[in-house]
Amino acid sequence: MSRKVSDSTVRRLSHYLRILEKLERQAVATLSSEELARSADTTAAQVRKDLSLFGSFGKRGLGYPVTDLKRHLRAILGLGKPWRVALVGAGRIGSALFEYGDFRRRGFNIVAVLDNDRAKVGDAWGGIPVRHISELADVVRSEGVEILILTVPSEAAQEVADVAVAAGVRGILNFAPVQLRLPEGVSIQDVNMVMELEALSFELSRDDDGLTDVAAS
């Protein structure tokens, strides 16, 4: 009974969750799809459709109970239990991500850090020793790593991913600008900031051209 849930729906659910957590801190008890839509920059119908894929969480005439809906969203997104994450690549981006408290706060615990550079091995990052990349398979198994954050150079990314997947990793957050090839059942999310900047560049260049009909509104 695997329903098809679109990527954009998942991203919106994550967005809704962030909004609900804020509202809960403000002791808001209930909100309508209309209000949630306004905060999430979408439409009320979209909010209702998204949520209705997973159940009926609202009360007609009233709206959605904040705390309850938050709990449901966490369950839907698989955030019921913390995830065990390994960070591979202890360079600048890796270190910035490691320090980024929101991961831990959201239940993504970095339980291991690995790098290629023997000069870094043995350093302790917030109590976690940096280990050599050659230990990757062992670490994945002994620490029960489920998700990998990959911040190694492009040339190394595929090989590291292969080893990790063979050892049991099932999800990868990939910062290397390469298209990783992985077996069925392994999920990948790519983060590519150059691509984002190029998307901006495209839009800005488009607007320039003066081709925009500034007619009515």
176, two tokens: 């290397």
# residues near its own copies by CB under 8 A: 71
83 touches its own copies by CB under 8 A? yes
What does 10 interact with, of DNA, its own copies, none (CB < 5 to 8 A by kind)?
A: its own copies
62 touches its own copies by CB under 8 A? no
What does 200 interact with, of its own copies, DNA, none (CB < 5 to 8 A by kind)?
A: its own copies
What does 142 interact with, of DNA, its own copies, none (CB < 5 to 8 A by kind)?
A: none
Smallest distance, Å, CB 38 to its own copies?
A: 10
What residues numbered 149-208 form the site for its own copies, per CB under 8 A?
170-173, 177, 179, 185, 187, 189, 191, 193-207
23 touches its own copies by CB under 8 A? no
